[in-house]
A and B are shown apart, each in its own frame.
Chain A
């Protein structure tokens, strides 16, 4: 297990703040109707995302899910381009075609969100396989929620990753709920990594709200995978503050406990102050500067132009020649 330096912990603290502000400011504009579609935030799960982003290299890849804005941001995509995408703007990372659930940016290893939840467990095998065949020591990560372990792809993916010894990093964000369904209601065990054992893939579980433990666990997993031993399945136990539908019913005491006692940012802040890694005033300064930074990104996104309707048919085919003999040219009726 690696020990984390003071600088690293302070960086991770700032990373978590960035993610929280990023998402909470988005929640605000979503309420104002500035986001055309859906928005699923990972507020409460920042330590998990910060840990993952820290552990992965730029030459690795990850497939984010619907709630992974945090890792997309911390991987290094410009915050304003991510926000522009989420607001459906022309200068978003996908030109407004994808939105919050399909953020992609190959320059930082973000291989794009696919929100047929869990299907990316199949896709992640691909870069892992290619890199293994080409002798490149890179790690292919996929972020999945507790709900997705019910998918057939969960089994197919573990199966192939195991027999082919692929460098896949399964990052399970067990936030206890899939929409309204609690893990204990939907799965044979609440420790979902237990399901993996039969596949002979290494597993681990960690408190996903403990930034130090989560980062160490993620680093260990990445080291293991990069050393050529095969895949690793790491389960982060965490909790999401936000729901998917307003109809989700939660026990108020449960919510209070996770928001107050177990909030990863509060916990990190207490750790930093009690261990004397920084003064309170320094933390306040960081907190203020992060807020300002995120507000600037948001302002950029809000001011950005909408895509041009005339580009709606661009990028349907990677090689347009195949369409050369269509007579019935697709028309814009509006």
Chain B
């Protein structure tokens, strides 16, 4: 046990799984000697060698294709796509190949791959390094999208993901890499498909994920001073997401905000909001509020970027408006 960053906890997960499972290997750009653009694969190359920690050229489609093909013969590859925006260059391999394989071939082939990728904005990365790509992948049957918000979950979810038989897109928010938390040294798992109630409250359910979890917690702190209690739910898995935990919470609070960093249109906030509205229409006392990035690419200049990305003030405002409904 000890306080570790998300990067350290992810790194520990990879070390532990690779030690225990010879069929696990990593591939991606600069993941070997350099240890990855964000240091998540640090030390793996020295320990496991160039065969199992494979540097690649900028061939994203071939990276995912190779990962899928090797998974078909029993390997468990962990592919790194440096930045989530670049998943567009291997989109076909993910959605048409990995995600459809088990179904298309009637269960004869599995594609247990993990695609780790650094997602999200807030650091001046500009339009090609800051995007939240959840919406691109939300409506892909067969795909699992895992999105941790803290170091403890990051480690346990990465281990679960590598050992799971589904193809998994594993989102690592860049703004959370340096976040510290208590992380046990040993091997443990966190279940995929289960949300966590991060802060209990009776007035409004806030469904959120990754960095927005922390914005929601900050908003909850402020609102507590006004006598408004938020119940913050960290989805942890975006697809298939934990409808039970969310709906149970909204049955209690009767009000809901869905706060995600991805653009509101066609994204996870829309999806969660639609299900709540559809299933609990008569329970709700107010319309479900979606919070997300405004519909624009993510600009570089901080003033512009801040104007586009959602944050705690958006949650506070939405919560105050929701409490006006009786």
Contacts and interface: CB of A to CB of B under 8 A. Distances in A.
Interface of A: 61, 93-95, 97-98, 102, 104-106, 111-112, 114, 116, 119-131, 133, 140, 152-153, 156-157, 159-160, 163, 314-319, 321-328
A316 B60 CA distance: 25
Nearest to A321: B193
Contact of B106 (A125, A126, A315): A315
Contacts of A98: 104-106
B268 to A, nearest CB: 15
Interface of B: 25, 51-52, 56-57, 59-62, 64-75, 77, 92-93, 96-97, 101-112, 141-142, 144, 164-166, 191-195, 237, 240, 242-245, 247, 275, 278-279
What 7 A-B pairs come out closest when comparing CB atoms?
A126-B69, A122-B65, A156-B62, A126-B70, A125-B66, A318-B165, A156-B59
Contacts of B242: 325
Given A315-B107, A316-B141, A327-B243, A163 B57 contact: yes
Contact of A104 (B66, B105, B111): B105
Given A122-B65, A319-B165, A104 B243 contact: no
Contacts of B65: 119-126, 153, 156-157
B57 A328 contact: no
Given A111-B72, A130-B73, A317-B166, A326 B240 contact: yes
Contacts of B59: 156, 159-160
A94 B106 contact: yes
Given A116-B96, A129-B69, A156-B59, A111 B109 contact: yes
29 contacts: A102-B105, A112-B108, A112-B109, A119-B92, A120-B65, A122-B68, A122-B93, A124-B69, A125-B62, A126-B73, A127-B70, A129-B69, A129-B70, A130-B74, A130-B75, A153-B61, A157-B65, A160-B66, A315-B103, A316-B141, A317-B102, A317-B166, A318-B107, A321-B191, A321-B192, A322-B166, A325-B193, A325-B245, A327-B243
Given A95-B106, A119-B65, A318-B111, 17 more contacts: A104-B109, A112-B109, A114-B96, A114-B97, A116-B97, A120-B65, A124-B69, A126-B66, A126-B75, A129-B66, A153-B62, A156-B61, A318-B112, A318-B165, A327-B243, A327-B244, A328-B243
A129 B57 CA distance: 15
Contacts of B275: 328
A128 B71 CA distance: 11
Contacts of B51: 133
A327 B247 contact: yes
A322 B240 contact: yes
Contacts of A133: 25, 51-52, 75
Contacts of B97: 114, 116, 119, 122-123
A127 B243 contact: no
A143 to B, nearest CB: 15
Contact of B71 (A126, A319, A328): A126
Given A112-B109, A323-B240, A315 B102 contact: yes
A212 to B, nearest CB: 32
A170 to B, nearest CB: 13
Contacts of A318: 102, 107, 110-112, 165-166
Contacts of A97: 103-106
Nearest to A311: B106
